[in-house]
Amino acid sequence: MPHTLAVHTHQAVCLITLQRPQALNALTSELLAELAEQLQRCASDDSIGAVVLTGSRKAFAAGADLNEMAGRDLVGMLNDPRQAHWQTITQFAKPLIAAVNGYALGAGCELAMHADILIAGEDAQFGQPEINLGIMPGAGGTQRLLRAVGKSLAMQMVLSGEPISARRALEAGLVSEITPPELTVERALQIAQRIASKAPLALRLAKEALLKAQDLDLASGLRFERHAFTLLAGTADRNEGIRAFQEKRRASFCGK
């Protein structure tokens, strides 16, 4: 069993809760490794349709583990094992929803931005305070943040280290919904359940196509989308989905 996470499965949704309350869920290498491992497990488990990732009421994750980082010199950083864990999290192909309460700072903010959908409690705070320590974001903070909130706000956050509120994050497009903090996880699970009832292959290709939109030029993105769309024509779930719609009944997908 993992040490730094709690893992619960509700029907087709896996809820992963970061659990290092004493350190506001600071992301140690161990935690990242366990998270990557759990996501890999979810990826290969056909009964899991979507994953919700959350922290505590007080902190989603307040950053990386500074003691650990301080111990690494240049060579240590070059060989940083965390990079592999981040890769695994990035490559997770099923829908990943982050339910963020309290602090999502530094690596915690970067982890939240790895999720496909962000739901935030009203008192959540997002920030990249690395600059205050003489360093900078190193797990996507300068890239995903800029794509999510635009240049000026991303620059302001990364260069000043000042966090933004949940409401501001909603306005800027970093999160899609805010809820009372007591309901953040519940709302994320609700969305995840709904998503998990859809055809798995369609979800996977749709997620991939949406992520391509961030990296590719429009023509290439459209080409990818068309290929993915065409691929789905070869799946049993597409036939089932269309037939169920025509017959006005609920579709029952098999993932093939």
Partner 1 sequence: MSFEHILFSIDAGVALLSLNRPEQLNSFNGRMHEEVQEALRLVRRSDDVRVLLLTAEGRGFCAGQDLADRNVVPGAEAPDLGESIERYYNPLVHTLRDLPIPVICAVNGVAAGAGANIPLACDLVLAARSASFIQAFCKIGLIPDSGGTYALPRLVGMARAKALAMLGERLSAEQAEQWGLIYRCVEDAELRDEAIKLARHLATQPTYGLGLIKRSLHASLDNSFEQQLTLERDLQRLAGRSEDYREGVSAFMAKRTAQFKGR
CB atoms closer than 10 angstroms to residue 244: 15
* Least distance in angstroms from the C-beta of 201 to partner 1: 32
* Least distance in angstroms from the C-beta of 180 to partner 1: 5
Query: Contact with partner 1 (CB under 8 A): which of 45, 46, 171, 182?
Result: 182
* Least distance in angstroms from the C-beta of 192 to partner 1: 17
Distance separating alpha carbons of residues 118 and 173, to the nearest angstrom = 10
Residue 20 or 187: the one with the smaller Cβ distance to partner 1 is 187
Kindly indicate which of the ranges 50-58, 91-99, 174-182, 214-222 contains the residues binding partner 1, using the contact rule CB under 8 A. 174-182
**What does the DSSP assignment read for 26-67?**
-B-HHHHHHHHHHHHHHHH-TT--EEEEE--SSEEE--B-HH
Q: Is 125 in the site for partner 1 (CB under 8 A)?
A: no
Query: Contact with partner 1 (CB under 8 A): which of 113, 179, 191, 205?
Result: 179
* Least distance in angstroms from the C-beta of 172 to partner 1: 17
CB atoms closer than 10 angstroms to residue 238: 17
Question: Do strands 103-105 and 125-127 pair parallel, antiparallel, or not at all (unpaired)?
Answer: parallel
Kindly indicate which of the ranges 72-80, 107-115, 125-133, 182-190 contains the residues binding partner 1, using the contact rule CB under 8 A. 182-190
Q: Is 7 in the site for partner 1 (CB under 8 A)?
A: no
Q: Is 183 in the site for partner 1 (CB under 8 A)?
A: yes
Distance separating alpha carbons of residues 175 and 248, to the nearest angstrom = 34
Number of residues that bind partner 1 (CB under 8 A): 5
Q: Is 208 in the site for partner 1 (CB under 8 A)?
A: no
- Please answer whether residues 95 and 117 qualify as being in contact, where contact means their C-beta atoms are separated by less than 8 angstroms: yes
Q: Is the dihedral of CA 97, 191, 12, 121 positive or negative?
A: positive
Q: Is 131 in the site for partner 1 (CB under 8 A)?
A: no
Element (H, E) at 88: helix 82-91
Residues within the interface to partner 1 (CB under 8 A): 179-180, 182-183, 187
